Amino acid sequence: MQLRGNGLSVSKIAEMTGIAHGVVRRIVGKLDPAEVQKARQRQADTARQIDSLPIPWPEKISRWKEQTGQCAATLWRVLKKTRASGSHEE
């Protein structure tokens, strides 16, 4: 449970422990929905902050990768979702 709490995926836990994916899923269950929402909010806040900078797209992608460790496609999806919802909760 601690590994899952540290944000590791079920697949990664299964790989690290040598236990079957299905067994890991039954033992650790899913992430806490409140924690997932907090992570999504942090992701959206980071994306909005980076997008607001007057820099070219490649630099925005570099900053996104530095701050989140996620790829450009994720930044694009987060921004697209954020812009569509008009969500600017601060």
Q: Say whether both 15 and 36 belong to one domain.
A: no
Name which residue leads in pLDDT, 36 or 51. 51
- Per the structure, the complete domain to which residue 69 belongs is given by 32-90
- pTM > 0.75: no
Same domain, 80 and 66: yes
Secondary structure, 3-state, the chain: CHHHHCCCCHHHHHHHHCCCHHHHHHHHCCCCHHHHHHHHHHHHHHHHHHHCCCCCHHHHHHHHHHHHCCCHHHHHHHHHHHHHHCCCCC
Indicate whether 17 and 60 sit together in one domain. Answer: no
Is residue 90 pLDDT above 70, yes or no? no
Tell me the percentage of the chain whose pLDDT exceeds 90.
Answer: 42
Looking at the structure of the chain, the number of domains it has is: 2
Greatest mean pLDDT among 10-14, 19-23, 51-55:
51-55
